[in-house]
């Protein structure tokens, strides 16, 4: 049995991180892969819908493909684990190089088999040399046909430039409407004890599959956050990609230093009113902080999701955008605003409504979606 090569792992990791590239490398077959599991993953990405891969994440989309193809769950999980794809991110050129090497290895093995199958005893020297020339020419042509030498040029000049899959919120009905990409500043607002932090934990964990998530908390300690996310324990999530930072008073300058050190793909802040600022009034403080966070998101090209409190004036009624603390500045700076609201304060039906009150990321009507909260697992569905 062939040994699984680093090139195979690199290529699979690359197309898992950048599924849009699959259309430039869609001609590999089972024979090109040392492992059946590698081919399962490759073929699943090849047959998946790109929109689903980009908006909903690689793992969940592959699970749907797996279900349709009838692939055994244990076999599929083993495949992902075998290749450790969830932590690999490669440049376009390296993906192409690993693709070439996969083809090289297959062609080399085919060449060796053909030569070994020659009946040397029955051939004279001239016939043997002629057979070797034929085999060599045949495999040289395979190399020429197999290399997509203009792949990088095609990608560079195509209308759809390469971009990482966007951040997801982990609820498909919302992810279909809200498209959080780099430079997006998102506010999630709610009254106390309405589930802001729990929802933020869900967003964080849903993105750990392929992204480094930096979670700043002034509300809960690292241990408390870790306790909240303990049920996210299968291969769909990568706890190593969740970086927790706790401080009772958050400082923007310290946060920037941490961001540059961690180099995250997503920043979550719990919560806005705990960030220190020199503003004399609450309004000035909120304005300064929200403006700096918006600028920070743009400069670093990293999406920022920030939790915010709702004013007490919204008690016992559906909160509106204007009920956000510091609402004037937040309404102006935020690209997306989600408002969480629990109608039944006793949570007898465990329903949380998510109101999409602002959405610059898509031309859709504002709406709301109802989620079911499972108190036993701290999980929204």
Which tokens hold the place of 94? 């390296």
How far is Cα 274 from Cα 250, in angstroms, rounded to an integer? 6
**pTM for this structure?**
0.62
Comparing 285 with 242, the larger pLDDT belongs to 242
**What domains lie within the chain, and their CATH numbers?**
6-157 (1.10.860), 172-380 (3.40.50.300)
For residue 295, CA distances in Å to 84, 129, 211, 260, 329 come to 35, 69, 21, 15, 13
Cβ atoms 50, 169 nearer than 8 A? no
Range with top average pLDDT, 12-21, 129-138, 264-273: 264-273
pLDDT of residue 258: 92
Query: Model confidence over 246-268: pLDDT tens digits?
Result: 998 898 889 989 998 998 999 99
Q: How buried is residue 202: exposed, middle or buried, by Cβ count under 10 Å (0-12/13-18/19+)? A: buried
Beta strand spans in 80-230 (E): 185-190, 213-217
Whole-angstrom Cα distance, residue 87 to residue 107? 29
Question: What is the C-alpha to C-alpha distance for residues 131 and 109, in angstroms, rounded to an integer?
Answer: 17
Segment 313-328 shows an average pLDDT of 78
pLDDT at 157: 42
CB atoms under 10 Å from CB of 105, counted, come to 18
Strand order across the 379-380 sheet: 242-246, 213-217, 266-270, 304-309, 185-190, 336-341, 351-359, 367-374, 379-380
Q: How confident is the model at residue 82 (pLDDT cuts 50, 70, 90)?
A: low
Q: Which tens digits make up the pLDDT trace of 325-350?
A: 766 778 888 999 999 988 876 666 78
- Centre a 10 Å sphere on the Cβ of residue 180 and count the other Cβ atoms it contains: 23
Q: Which residues pair with 324 in a beta bridge?
A: 310
Across the chain, what does the average pLDDT equal? 77
| Confidence (pLDDT) at 307 | 95
The pair of structure tokens assigned to 83 is 């290749």
More confident residue, 263 or 43: 263
- The tokens describing 223, both together, are 């241990």
C-alpha closest to that of 25 among 95, 109, 107, 101: 95
Q: Who has greater pLDDT, 347 or 242?
A: 242
Show the 3-state SS of 18-70.
Answer: CHHHHHHCCCCCHHHCCCHHHHHHHHHHHHCCHHHHHHHCHHHHHHHHHHHHC
Confidence of residue 104 (pLDDT cuts 50, 70, 90): confident
CA 185/CA 182 separation, integer angstroms:
9
For residue 369, count other CB atoms closer than 10 A to its CB: 16
State percent of the chain over pLDDT 90: 18
DSSP label at residue 352: E
CA gap 114, 139 in Å, rounded: 10
- C-alpha pair distances (Å), 281 with each of 143, 284, 326, 334, 380: 69, 5, 10, 20, 36
Question: Closest by alpha carbon to 339, among 328, 324, 351?
Answer: 324
Query: CB-hemisphere CA count at 13 Å for 343?
Result: 8
Two tokens, residue 3: 């040994």
């Amino acid at each position: 049995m062939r040994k699984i090569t680093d090139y195979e792992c690199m290529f699979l990791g690359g197309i898992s991180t950048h599924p849009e590239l699959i259309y430039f490398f869609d001609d590999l077959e089972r024979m090109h892969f040392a492992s059946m599991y590698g081919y399962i993953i490759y073929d699943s990405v090849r047959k998946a819908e790109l929109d689903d891969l980009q908006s909903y994440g690689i793992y969940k989309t592959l699970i749907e493909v797996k279900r349709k193809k009838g692939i055994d769950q244990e076999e599929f999980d083993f495949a992902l684990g075998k290749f450790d794809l969830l932590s690999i991110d490669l440049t376009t050129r390296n993906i192409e190089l690993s693709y070439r090497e996969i083809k090289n290895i297959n062609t080399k093995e085919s060449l060796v088999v053909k030569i070994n199958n020659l009946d040397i005893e029955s051939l004279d020297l001239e016939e043997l040399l002629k057979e070797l020339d034929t085999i060599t020419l045949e495999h040289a042509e395979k190399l020429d046909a197999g290399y997509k030498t203009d792949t990088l040029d095609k990608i560079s000049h195509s209308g759809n430039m390469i971009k990482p899959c966007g951040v997801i919120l982990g609820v498909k009905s919302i992810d279909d409407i809200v498209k959080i990409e780099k430079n997006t500043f998102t506010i999630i607002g709610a009254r106390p004890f309405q589930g802001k932090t729990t929802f933020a934990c869900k967003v964080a964990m849903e993105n750990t599959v392929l992204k480094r998530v930096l979670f700043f908390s002034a509300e809960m300690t690292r241990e408390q956050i870790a306790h909240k996310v303990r049920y996210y324990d299968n291969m769909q999530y990568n706890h190593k990609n969740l970086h927790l930072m706790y401080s009772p008073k958050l400082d923007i300058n310290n946060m920037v230093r941490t961001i540059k050190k961690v180099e995250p793909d997503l920043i979550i802040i719990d919560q806005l009113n705990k960030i220190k600022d020199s503003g004399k009034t609450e309004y000035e403080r909120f304005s300064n902080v929200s403006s700096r966070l918006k600028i920070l998101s743009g400069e670093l090209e990293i999406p920022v999701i920030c939790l915010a409190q709702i004013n007490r004036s919204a008690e016992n009624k559906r909160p509106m955008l204007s009920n956000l603390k510091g609402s004037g500045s937040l309404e102006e700076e935020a690209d997306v605003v989600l408002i969480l609201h629990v109608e039944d304060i006793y949570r007898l039906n465990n329903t949380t409504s998510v109101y999409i009150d602002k959405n610059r990321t898509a031309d859709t009507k504002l709406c709301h979606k109802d989620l079911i909260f499972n108190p036993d697992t701290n999980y929204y569905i």
